[in-house]
Amino acid sequence: MSSGYKFKRNFYYAVEKSTQESSVTFLLGARKTGKTVCMKQLASQLEGAEYYDVKAMGEDDHVDLIDKITDSIRANEKRIFLIDETTYLLLPEKMIAKIANAYTDCKNTNTKVVFTGSQSVALEAWASRSFAGNAMFIYADFLSYPEWLAFQGINEVSEKTYNDYILGTREFYGDFVSLDTYLKGCLEETVQSNHKTSNIILNNNCDSLDVQTLKNILYSALIAQADRPSLQNFFDKDCLLRKIRFFLKDAYQAAGSDTVRQKIDDIFSQRITGYSSTDFETLKQGFVFLQKCGLVTLTYVSDETHNFENIIDVGKDLCRLDKNKIKNKNDLFSRVNICIKYPMFYAEIIKEVLGDQFPFAIKGDILGGIAECQVRGLLPQDFCYEYHADANKTSGTERETYYVNYAQRFAVAFDIRNQSASELHFDDLPKDFEKILLTRDQCFTDQNGIVHIPYYQFIYDNSAGGERSDFTIL
């Protein structure tokens, strides 16, 4: 059982409220985010609530359970059915539809049903087909920075407590075994959901993927923090490894061992080789799969500021057969920015590399990389891109990259070393854009109108449980 079993997450209160306002609620989210804990908490707190773990039941019991729910709906009984592991039902899509039909056949305001399961892509598709907008959707996420502070009883928002959050989040999930086990579970549940669906779930295939391919892609996301490699750079392994060692230098120095340096070289050399040798279609499928699992964010990279009003979701674009912006591996390497969404998974990779010599504090480029990835996970993913000027087209100096949201007219740059904002070339953007620079500890608006905000404060304010749970420009 999770160490946070008694601690109620923000989405717990959202589901609790939903049971008062809607007959049917779907609690969606990535694996291991705490959905089962939430359901058990609801079972112990809500009057008339009954918890059912479908995965632990026999198939005959599945039929009996659906009959019990539909009979209760028709009798307008005051009951709340909490259905966990819904995707393991004998015929999940048809059984969800049967419940939807029962609500259609009669007026019912008393019987409530809450569904959840680990394969949220399938569950959301089935829910949309059956209820056509007549159900509530609540999204569970991994423990946020504000929630972690509340769990620890801490009020301090600072670099120190953010560091403690990075290092301590994993302990909240007592049953999290390893990255390999987690990815294997994602694949197995997707395969099962695809097998059980009556109608195809678009772009949910994973037939070419395995755990190692997915890990190669996740490692490539970390490599992208050290350097934005082109396809050619990946084949220059020695050069890339030097950049990775430099990126990891703070952790490497903390570990203080030549053995650690050799391990860094060995592990990343293997991952670079595996990534480079994987065919284009498999890589595309892996990118989309990891995005659908909620583990990464994908944004396009541009070296010019121009109208991006027609930007579509990168994952959807990768699945298109025509007019696809990504036509080959070189495009995928250079035109798509992939970020690991949650600090816990980013830290898992660092731990895998350093082992027992994992540092007690995260700092330098690694801290900047984790914070940047988490911020990108909090920012809207529609109508946005990463701006990265081509150094060869400018004065020859490397320009910083930053997130640009064309629809909402704002940009966010990352600089936890408190460097000069003038190096960021915000002036390349239209004048009406709001410009935000995330810093280590600066908090002011400069003469150019650039808002300086400590990165940990921005993460706190825009995370679930912070001052603003919906994204708001400070």
pLDDT of 308 strictly over 60: no
- Angle, nearest 10°, between helix axes 258-277 and 343-354? 120
| CA distances for 25 relative to 16, 41, 51, 339, 464, angstroms | 10, 16, 14, 30, 19
Q: Give Cβ neighbours of residue 43 (< 8 Å, ≥ 6 apart).
A: 49, 50, 51, 82
Lowest mean pLDDT among 23-37, 66-80, 417-431: 417-431
Check whether 331 has a pLDDT greater than 90: no
Predicted confidence at residue 133, as pLDDT, reads 84
Choosing among 3.40.50.300, 3.20.20.210, 3.40.50.1980, 3.40.50.150, the CATH entry for 10-141 is: 3.40.50.300
Q: How confident is the model at residue 1 (pLDDT cuts 50, 70, 90)?
A: very low
The answer to whether residues 427 and 444 touch, using CB atoms and an 8 Å cutoff, is no
Q: Which part of the chain is CATH 3.40.50.300?
A: 10-141
Tell me the CA end-to-end span of the chain in Å, nearest whole number. 38
**Is it the case that residue 394 has pLDDT exceeding 90?**
no
- Amino acid 312: pLDDT: 63
- Band (112; pLDDT cuts 50, 70, 90): very high
256 versus 119: which is more confidently predicted? Answer: 119
Overall average pLDDT of the 207-234 stretch:
84
**CA trace torsion 165, 171, 175, 176 (10° rounding):** 50
217 touches 145 (CB < 8 A): no
Q: What is the pLDDT of residue 472?
A: 45
Q: What is the pLDDT of residue 130?
A: 94
Q: pLDDT category, 3, cuts 50, 70, 90?
A: very low
Please give the model's pTM, rounded to 2 decimal places.
0.90
Please compute the mean of the pLDDT values over residues 141-166 and round it to a whole number.
94
How, if at all, do strands 384-387 and 296-302 pair?
parallel
pLDDT at position 251, please?
66
Amino acid at 81: F
Of 468, 472, 470, 473, nearest in space to 450 by CA = 473
- Which of 106-115, 244-253, 450-459 bottoms out in mean pLDDT, i.e. has the lowest? 244-253
Q: Give the mean pLDDT of 61-74.
A: 97
The residue to which tokens 């946070």 are assigned: 4
Pair 414, 436: CB distance under 8 Å: no
pLDDT, position 304 = 59
Q: To the nearest whole number, what is the mean pLDDT of the chain? A: 85
Q: Please name the amino acid found at residue 30.
A: A
Judge whether 347 and 200 are in contact, CB under 8 Å: no
Average pLDDT on 450-471 reads: 80
Has residue 404 got a pLDDT over 70? yes
pLDDT in tens, 86-107: 999 999 999 999 999 999 998 8
- pLDDT number for residue 473: 43
What's the rounded Cα separation, in Å, for the pair 468 and 210?
38
pLDDT of residue 231: 63
> Which segments of 173-304 does DSSP mark as H helices, in order?
179-196, 211-226, 231-235, 237-247, 249-255, 258-277, 280-292
From residue 275, give the alpha-carbon distance in Å to each of 16, 110, 172, 184, 345. Answer: 44, 53, 32, 18, 19
Q: Among 47-51, 228-232, 470-474, whose mean pLDDT is lowest? A: 470-474
Please tell me the distance from the alpha carbon of residue 187 to that of residue 178, in angstroms, as a whole number: 15
Least-confidence region, from 135-149, 166-180, 413-427, 440-454:
413-427
* Most confident residue range from 135-149, 158-172, 304-318, 433-447: 135-149
**Tokens linked to 260:** 């650690």
Share of the chain above pLDDT 70, in %: 86
pLDDT band for position 474 (50/70/90)?
very low
Q: Highest-confidence range of 14-28, 162-176, 265-279, by mean pLDDT?
A: 14-28
